[in-house]
């Protein structure tokens, strides 16, 4: 409950010293005084104006931008950023850089000290509720309190059972003012994979493909000519795909894509970048030992998901794959003998994967959509029409859903190619 000002004019303090005319209107003056007293807040009262909201959002979006720098390096932890503000100036900032290392709040306080600033009485903007438990690092709540931070603005509460509101309450118990919900939608979108893993034990599923304007996924097979382009999209689009791979914990393809294209599925950028776990859905365990994926398993991790019975029926191949440093997971199948995609996601969840990039092929994409297992779509569209009935394409007309629409749609352009991405909502 806020305090309120009681402003008492000098001529109201001793009404009995006033002349008779004033005395008779004293009850009216007293009534007006009490009304005035009940609505005039002191400077210590919390009044959130539109300008305050705009400033809070500006600082929080700065913290969100910092948090995103940890993509691909902090999982299964969430990406978190923190900004410390005092007297309208940023005096410290930081983000969670790597799994097992200092959290954003601690890095922001360290940056503040390095700059020679005193954080006592300052406000900290942080994209996720500070932790209040001992993990690989100490509780961030204690570091905040010890630094003398007076106010903490949190974008969203942490769904992790070890925190889940306890961090915010601990700060309040120490007399620190806490506000929750600034830029909450953006914060939860940034860490959608972390939140899904916490709730469902599965990673966020992102379907990615490239297509022509008329929906073809590749050029049709040719009869020996080398004049046909290998890729639909241009070099800038393909470089962006590698950046996306580096942010995801795993990238997945079906065995058909492995046999047809012999992909490597690693990240190839100018600078060193995180490498995802490469995953193959291979119900019948047909992956060639000579494939690029198997031959590179010692350098880049590879998980082969296959039917449980294959572990017993093909023990020699399983042993050879394991000897090549491949991981092999035996999983249940459906009535048609196809691998359960839900089981694949749960297996990846057990391996602490928060984001899964599904790169193909078309049959796998259609299956994820049909089973309601996809969360996001990324489609790179090249400015080309591809002829030929035998050119592969994604066909959603036979699915048991009326259709899908995308929410929170974003677009980017790469020298003529267009990327459309958004979150899936079934009709």
Which position has the token pair 């042993």? 319
Q: Give catalytic residue positions.
A: 105
Task: State the Rg of the chain over Cα.
Answer: 29
Kind of pairing between the strands at 250-254 and 277-281: parallel
Of 310, 323, 248, 241, nearest in space to 279 by CA:
248
If you count DSSP H runs as helices and E runs as strands, how many of each does the chain have, helices first?
16, 14
Handedness of CA 244, 246, 252, 256 (dihedral sign): positive
> CA 18, 23, 27 angle in degrees (round to 5)?
130
Complete edge-to-edge strand list for the sheet that includes strand 327-331: 327-331, 302-307, 277-281, 250-254, 355-360, 204-211, 376-381, 417-426, 404-414
Q: Contact 396/369 with Cβ under 8 angstroms?
A: yes
Q: Tokens at residue 67, please?
A: 């948090």
């Amino acid at each position: 409950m806020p305090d309120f000002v009681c402003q008492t004019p000098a001529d109201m303090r001793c009404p009995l010293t006033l002349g008779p005319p004033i005395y008779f209107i004293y009850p009216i003056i007293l009534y007006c005084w009490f009304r005035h007293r009940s609505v005039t807040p002191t400077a210590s009262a919390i009044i959130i104006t539109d300008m305050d909201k705009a400033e809070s959002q500006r600082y929080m979006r700065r913290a969100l931008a910092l948090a995103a720098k940890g993509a691909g390096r902090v999982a299964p932890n969430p990406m978190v950023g923190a900004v410390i503000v005092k007297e309208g100036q940023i005096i410290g900032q930081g983000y969670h850089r790597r799994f097992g290392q200092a959290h954003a709040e601690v890095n922001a306080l360290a940056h503040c000290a390095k700059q020679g600033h005193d954080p006592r009485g300052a406000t900290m903007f942080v994209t996720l509720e500070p932790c209040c438990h001992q993990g690989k690092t100490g509780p961030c709540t204690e570091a905040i309190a010890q630094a003398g931070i007076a106010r903490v603005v949190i974008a969203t509460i942490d769904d992790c059972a070890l925190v889940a509101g306890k961090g915010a309450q601990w700060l309040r118990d120490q007399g620190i003012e806490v506000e929750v919900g600034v830029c909450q939608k953006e914060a939860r979108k940034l860490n959608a994979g972390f939140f899904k893993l916490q709730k469902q034990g599965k990673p966020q599923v992102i379907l990615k493909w490239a297509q022509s304007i008329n929906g073809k996924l590749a050029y049709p097979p040719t009869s020996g000519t080398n004049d046909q382009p290998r890729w639909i999209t241009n070099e800038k689009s393909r470089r962006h795909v590698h950046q996306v791979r580096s942010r995801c914990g795993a990238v997945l393809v079906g065995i058909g894509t492995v046999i047809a294209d012999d992909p490597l599925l690693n990240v190839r950028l100018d600078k060193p970048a995180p490498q995802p776990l490469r995953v193959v859905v291979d119900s019948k365990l047909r992956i060639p030992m000579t494939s690029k994926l198997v031959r590179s398993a010692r350098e880049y991790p590879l998980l082969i998901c296959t039917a449980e019975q294959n572990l017993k029926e093909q023990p020699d191949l399983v042993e050879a794959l394991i000897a090549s440093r491949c991981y092999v997971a035996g999983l249940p199948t459906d009535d048609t003998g196809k691998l359960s995609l839900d089981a694949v996601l749960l297996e990846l969840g057990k391996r602490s994967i928060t984001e899964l990039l599904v790169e193909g092929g078309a049959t796998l994409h259609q299956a994820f959509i049909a089973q309601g297992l996809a969360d996001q779509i990324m489609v790179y569209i090249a400015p080309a029409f591809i002829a030929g009935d035998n050119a592969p394409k994604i066909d959603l007309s036979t699915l048991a859903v009326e259709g899908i629409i995308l929410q929170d749609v974003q677009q980017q352009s790469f020298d003529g190619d267009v990327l459309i991405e958004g979150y899936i909502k079934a009709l």
